[in-house]
Structure 1
Amino acid sequence: MTGFREMADDDVDATVQLWRDCGLTRPWNDPYKDISFARDGGCSAILVCETGGRIAATVMVGHDGHRGMLYYVAVAPTFQRQGLGRSAVRAAEAWLGARGVWKVNLLVRAENAAVKGFYESLGYEVNPVLCMARKIQNP
């Protein structure tokens, strides 16, 4: 197992498959579009860890100039419970820290109690804020 590195073009299909295997994709979000958008921005990246020549873990990380965000934290089912999720989060935090970002936010689906517990074990806590959203339809 190696450390985390920025995603390469050859990693895209394997990364999407990992996200699907981990149940992270949704029909209304095109993972290929998400990857392209993250990789094209100067304020975001997708970090991957591979073992045995295959993508074992990922994290999408970015910032808006004020706060960092984590998305698509994924560990292949055969590699779960071995510390890769923790390593993915720490790699993303290091990526943000290197850019002067001092706080990170993330979103967890309300029904995902196991993942909430995972992040709590890493020192994350629920902030008493309301997250509002609106889809912008591009022409």
Structure 2
Amino acid sequence: MSISIRTFTVADTDAVLALWLDAFPEYGDTGRPHRDPRLSIANKLGTQPELFFVAVRGEDSEGGAVVGTVMAGYDGHRGWLYSLAVAEDARRLGIGTRLVRHAEHALAAIGCPKLNLQVLSSKPDVLAFYDALGYRADAVVSLGKRLGMQESEASA
């Protein structure tokens, strides 16, 4: 199977949405507006869109099927990975690893010294994947606060 990795384009939107809704069922929860995949794409296109990558199956990377995604970001202090997803029928072929390595190289090229990511504790298979790539749990507690929402909504 021929796979290429390139930067996301707006033409990829529908394919990425379909992939994310399959890979991240929590994105379909309308009670959690902070998990709106369309908003995630729009926000990424406004901030470092060059760090939003898709894996494409087929000889023509522009017209091929999107089978994977990863978003990366760098704030000048550390980098982050988000939304690593691989289509169900393309898993266990090394695509996720290639996407992570591609994002790591892109971040290193702009001077990023450390990379962080968050994984839901209810996904041990995802934790094992990252462990195999050399990621380790930091001795920190992840905190979050939803901005622009009432406190009662933010705790949901």
Q: Secondary structure at the match of 2:92?
A: coil
Q: 1:102 maps to what in 2?
A: 113
Shift of 1:2: 3.3
1:131 lines up with 2:138 in the alignment:
no
Give the residue type in structure 1 aligned to 2:21: R
Unpaired runs of 5+ in structure 2? 59-63, 150-156
List structure 1 segments (4+ residues) > 3 angstroms apart after TM superposition: none
> Contact 1:43 / 1:62 at 8 angstroms: preserved in 2?
no
Contact 1:61/1:69 (<8 A) preserved: yes
In structure 1, stretches of 5+ residues that fail to align are none
* CA–CA distance in structure 1, aligned partners of residues 73 and 118 of structure 2: 13
Structure 1 residue corresponding to 2:51, chosen from 42, 45, 49: 45
The structure where helix makes up a greater share of residues is 2
Equivalent-residue separation in structure 1 for 2:112 and 2:54 (angstroms): 20
TM-score between the two structures when normalised by the length of structure 1: 0.93
Number of the residue aligned with 1:63: 74
Letter in 2 for 1:125: R
| Alpha-carbon shift at residue 62 of structure 1 (Å) | 0.6
Give the superposition deviation at 1:14. Answer: 0.4
The more displaced of 80-89 and 18-27 is: 18-27
Question: Deviation at 1:102?
Answer: 1.4
Taking the aligned partners of 1:96 and 1:67, their CA distance within structure 2 comes to 9
Map residues 12-31 of structure 1 onto 2, 5 A cutoff.
Answer: 12-23=13-24, 25-26=26-27, 27=29, 28=32, 29-31=35-37
* TM-score computed with the length of structure 2 as normaliser: 0.83
